[in-house]
Amino acid sequence: MDYFLALCLALCWGTAFLASKNIVDVLPPYWGTFYRVLAGLLFFVIFFGLRRKSFKCPVRELWRPYVIGFLLILLPFAAISWGQRFVAPTMGGIFNGTVPIWGFIFGAIILKGVDRFTWRRAFGVTIGLIGLLIIMYPVLSGTTLEGGKMAVYGCLALLVMAWSYSLGNVLTKKIMVDSDAVSLEANTFHQYLFSAVILLLISLCFETAPSWHVFDMKLTISIFCAGVLSSAVAFLIMLELLKRWGATRMASVTYFTPIVAMASDMIARSRMPNRYEIIGIGIIFISLWLIQKKVEG
């Protein structure tokens, strides 16, 4: 059962980038992000509502879900939507696969004593960054036609996504897991509500609202997949795996995100990965192994 849940989580996370690409092919990036978050919010309202869970949160504690919601939902989802306009879903999965690398860096700085510094781990981080540069080489050198010059900014947006997820994961432990001030249900609800309201305001201010005529079957399914399956359902699966495996082992599911993203890109868009992406992913896997390997003593 544990491995089945891990497979489902990898599929949910890995296919998010194809769904996001389908969304931004039709909708402006911020409106696309808003509808993705709205789908997740509606799911949790129904799911928790049927279980009669309370959404109450003390006003003085609202900063907790707001901070985590900004780092784990609003900012990374918006960065994905903005960046995926110029790069393939495979690239999104690859950058998402680097989250444990950045997570180790942020964790070592913020959660002192949890992720102990070693030269092996430092070497792992270094070669992980080298792997990322190899993947980005065609974009940085201008040898790729996909996305044109804007592909560089697309990659930078995906890098912001990875940083945001990493910092959010670290701060979740520091200000949420180690505190019982807000229930899981209230925390989740207010994260999504806060993100949806802010995204709606940004969308109304900076983008033209899309016509209802653009919401065909493909777009609707993509919003459902990105907002419900790849976000809300994935969150619940992740929590269950955290209980069964612990944080370090659960994080290993992230390693398969680039593979699933690459496979979905090949099946749905007939895009074959280039040699830089394959080499870079291999190097990043080595980096993750060096960082995650248990420190003796």
| 7 or 181: which leads in pLDDT | 7
- Which of 14-28, 106-120, 278-292 is least confident? 106-120
Q: Model confidence over 94-116: pLDDT tens digits?
A: 888 888 778 777 777 776 655 55
pLDDT on residue 184? 84
Q: Is residue 99 part of a domain?
A: yes
Q: Is residue 72 part of a domain?
A: yes
Residue 82 pLDDT level (bands cut at 50, 70, 90) = very high
Q: Is residue 194 part of a domain?
A: yes
Q: Is residue 68 part of a domain?
A: yes
pLDDT on residue 142? 65
pTM of the model: 0.86
Q: Which domain holds residue 110?
A: 2-292
Q: Is residue 297 part of a domain?
A: no
- In the chain, what percentage of residues exceed pLDDT 90? 40
Residue 200 pLDDT level (bands cut at 50, 70, 90) = very high
End-to-end CA distance of the chain: 32
| 126 or 64: which leads in pLDDT | 64
pLDDT on residue 139? 72
- Which of 41-55, 167-181, 226-240, 258-272 is least confident? 167-181
Q: Is residue 217 part of a domain?
A: yes
Tally of domains in the chain: 1
Whether the predicted pLDDT of 22 surpasses 90: yes
Whether the predicted pLDDT of 118 surpasses 80: no
Residue 294 pLDDT level (bands cut at 50, 70, 90) = low
Q: Model confidence over 136-195: pLDDT tens digits?
A: 777 766 666 565 678 888 889 999 999 998 888 778 767 766 667 788 889 899 999 999
Q: Is residue 263 part of a domain?
A: yes
Total count of residues recorded for the chain: 297
How much is the average pLDDT of 23-49? 96
pLDDT on residue 234? 92
Q: Is residue 41 part of a domain?
A: yes
